[in-house]
Amino acid sequence: MHLECLLGAGLYQCPTCQQPYRGECELGLARQQWARVRDDRPEDDAERLAGAERLARALNTALGDYAAALPLLEDVLAARRRTLGAEAEATLQSLHDVAQQHLDLQSFAAGLPLAEEALRLRRQTLGYSHPRALDSLALLSQLHAESGDLEVALPLAQEALTGRRQRLGQGHMDTVISMADLCTLHYRLGDRTAAAPLFREGVEKGLKIFRTTTGSRASKSRPRAENLLGKDGKVDAEVAALGAALGAVGDPARRRRRGALPNVHLA
């Protein structure tokens, strides 16, 4: 396979299965594109910024190298602040992405003020119920939760779930992820009564999403569904333990059929 030929032809997905390239191929293409534009384009050039973002995504997904991806995303944010201004949505998405990167790196103190700024400005420019404002609200809740500030995270997670139910619907992937986040917080705070119905609802809707993300829609949503349920739709050991503790799932065969919530872990 010649990555340079694929890049030159503008092919970012397989012409046979119509799926985006993943893993080493995705990373190789991203590195080739970055090498083309890194030194030959101005720092604020749109194609250069797109190349930096693409390489950052590939480093995250193919290698899990969040530390290497962070400076690329920070450079994109700085360039967009200079050229587009602090309140442009492209700038706010970059701000959100850098905050998310700090969550992945477990550098929570660095991510919190960025997520707070992204939320404040998105609410100001897009409104409280806009899906991207809800994304930043959910991220802020996750950062507080991972920092150990569970009492601060809980109302933020509740607000994110309520907003996503109303704006996106009960069966949307982001709504189910918010169910999982809130379920986890209730469980970590010792409130199994509040956690159990969220677990049941999330399992039911999550497995439905996994089973229906096929065909052309799968390129973006199925990787998230696989993260939600596991590649075969089974409950992993940690989630099964949580489900058993909550009394929310039955025998192992039933658990395998129903699937699992995302991001649920025992504290």
CA distance 166 to 73: 31
Q: Do 20 and 75 share a domain, yes or no?
A: no
Q: Do 31 and 111 share a domain, yes or no?
A: no
Specify the pLDDT at position 23. 55
- Which residue, 25, 58, 37, is CA-closest to 11? 25
Cβ burial of 197 (10 Å; 0-12, 13-18, 19+) is: middle
Q: Do 149 and 223 share a domain, yes or no?
A: yes
Banded pLDDT at 245 (limits 50, 70, 90) = very low
pLDDT digits (tens, 9 = 90+) for 32-77: 888 888 888 888 889 999 999 999 999 988 888 999 999 999 999 9
- Which residue, 203, 204, 181, 191, is CA-closest to 265? 181
CA distance 193 to 197: 8
pLDDT digits (tens, 9 = 90+) for 224-244: 444 444 444 444 444 554 454
Statement: residue 264 has pLDDT above 70:
no
Q: Do 1 and 113 share a domain, yes or no?
A: no
Q: Do 101 and 7 share a domain, yes or no?
A: no
Q: Do 109 and 177 share a domain, yes or no?
A: yes
**CA 191 from centroid of its chain's CA atoms:** 26
Q: Do 33 and 95 share a domain, yes or no?
A: no
Q: Do 58 and 71 share a domain, yes or no?
A: no
Residue 72 covered by a domain = yes
Per-residue CA distances from 243 to 22, 142, 199, 204 (Å): 32, 21, 7, 13
For 67, how many CA atoms within 13 A lie in the half-sphere containing its CB?
Answer: 1
Boundary (domain end) residue, out of 29, 63, 97 = 63
Q: Do 88 and 59 share a domain, yes or no?
A: no
Residue 86 covered by a domain = yes
**Mind giving me the DSSP string for 40-101?**
TS-TT-HHHHHHHHHHHHHIIIII--HHHHHHHHHHHHHHHHHHH-TTSHHHHHHHHHHHHH
Report field, pTM of the whole predicted structure over 0.85: no
Residue 263 covered by a domain = no
CA distance 180 to 74: 29
Higher pLDDT, 177 or 209: 177
Boundary (domain end) residue, out of 63, 78, 109 = 63
Residue 230 covered by a domain = yes
* Residue ranges making up the domain that contains 40: 1-63
**Count of structural domains, the chain:** 2
Q: How many CB atoms lie within 10 A of CB 150?
A: 18
Q: Do 101 and 10 share a domain, yes or no?
A: no
Boundary (domain end) residue, out of 44, 63, 82 = 63
Specify the pLDDT at position 213. 53
CATH label of the domain that carries residue 140: 1.25.40.10
Cβ neighbours for 143, distance < 8 A, ≥ 6 positions apart: 99, 102, 103, 108, 111, 112, 115
